[in-house]
Structure 1
Amino acid sequence: MSDQVPTVSVSDVPADAPMLDVRELDEWTAGHAPAARHLPMSELAGRTGEIPGDDPLYVVCRSGGRSARVVAYLAQQGFPAVNVAGGMQEWSASGRDVVTDDGSAPRIA
């Protein structure tokens, strides 16, 4: 696996971009990007049929580490994936929209 994965800053991600959020359920429940789809990294290998075929597919986690590993894996599988640097922490800190499924206030830690 290469040490380099395609990466973009939060400011370079279009507002309605197709995103794959690879955080665990409790993190997703606390808040996520409005256009994101949830597929935890821990379940990825068994659910590859659910990976969106969008080009590019922006992958996000909490801070960018897990998503970088997922992007490296997806690239090996032929998916045009891009890591979102800084993850949801940077997404939220930069003022991008964060939503919850139950309407409660988002809590990105």
Structure 2
Amino acid sequence: MFSFLRPTPKPSMTEIAEQVAQGRMLLIDVRELAEARASGVAQGARLIPLSLVPLKCDPRQPGCELPQGLPVAVYCASGGRSGMAAEALTRMGYGPVVNLGGLRDWAAGGGAVVAL
């Protein structure tokens, strides 16, 4: 009856990995460079530390690096920073935005991790 009140189900890691590989979803790692170098990044991810999200992701800024119109998935080390990034990206007009949690969640769901 009130289907508009039900949240959209979160896609599986396999679905997200497929969409990223096909260019139908953006994947953003919001950890710091040193963290990404130490543990690698999800295959297909763009590294944009949380502190740079307002500069590099805001479509009103001249240095915006993200195209509009695609769903976005974000992750960090444990999910806290990616939650903040997801909120910021949603306010900037991106959507839907999915917080994947941490890199471990990506790997546990079968996502590939590559060296940076």
Normalised to the residue count of structure 2, the TM-score between the two structures is: 0.69
Output the amino acid matched with 2:49.
P
The 1:86–1:54 alpha-carbon spacing in structure 2 relative to 1, beyond 3 Å, is: same
The 1:43–1:57 alpha-carbon spacing in structure 2 relative to 1, beyond 3 Å, is: same
The 1:62–1:81 alpha-carbon spacing in structure 2 relative to 1, beyond 3 Å, is: farther
SS of residue paired to 1:85: strand
Output the amino acid matched with 2:35.
E
CA RMSD of aligned residues (A): 2.4
- How many residues were matched structurally? 97
Output the amino acid matched with 1:82.
V
SS of residue paired to 2:55: helix
Of structures 1 and 2, the larger Rg is shown by: 2
Q: Find the aligned partners of 1:22 and 1:84 in 2 and give their Cα distance.
A: 11
Q: Is the 8 A contact 2:89 2:97 kept in 1?
A: no
The 1:85–1:10 alpha-carbon spacing in structure 2 relative to 1, beyond 3 Å, is: same
Q: Report the alpha carbon displacement of residue 51 of structure 1 after superposing the two structures with TM.
A: 2.7
2:101 maps to which residue? Answer: 86
What fraction of aligned residue pairs are identical, expressed as a percent? 34
Q: Is the 8 A contact 2:82 2:101 kept in 1?
A: no
1:28 equivalent in alignment to 2:43? no
Normalised to the residue count of structure 1, the TM-score between the two structures is: 0.73
The 1:59–1:40 alpha-carbon spacing in structure 2 relative to 1, beyond 3 Å, is: same
Structure with the bigger RCO (C-alpha within 8 Å, sep 6+) is 1
Q: Find the aligned partners of 2:110 and 2:17 in 1 and give their Cα distance.
A: 14
- Give structure 2 stretches of 5+ with no counterpart: 1-6, 58-63
Q: Report the alpha carbon displacement of residue 77 of structure 1 after superposing the two structures with TM.
A: 1.0
